[in-house]
Amino acid sequence: MGNLLKVLTCTDLEQGPNFFLDFENAQPTESEKEIYNQVNVVLKDAEGILEDLQSYRGAGHEIREAIQHPADEKLQEKAWGAVVPLVGKLKKFYEFSQ
């Protein structure tokens, strides 16, 4: 680890240490397996969470329409139908962040 820090802080690369770190093919040691497995599960979930976050659009339009027309039951139902699934997504995002 010390050598890695030397390389990262080295201003003259020709005189610094020269070595290769293969991050793509690294394998956990036996003592690292438990943590590796925990992190691997989180990283697999992270991809789907990131896609959901990027496609999250909210329900602002539906909510505004329902507020502007409180007597219109169709707009109220449309707003409710748009908000309920988003609450589930937000809960999923929150739980993932924990």
Terminal Cα distance for the chain, rounded: 29
Specify the DSSP element, H or E, that contains 26.
Answer: none
pLDDT at 94 over 80: yes
* Reported pTM: 0.57
Q: Which of 3, 97, 93 is nearest to 51 (CA)?
A: 93
The average pLDDT across 34-44 equals 90
Least confident range from 3-12, 34-43, 80-89: namely 3-12
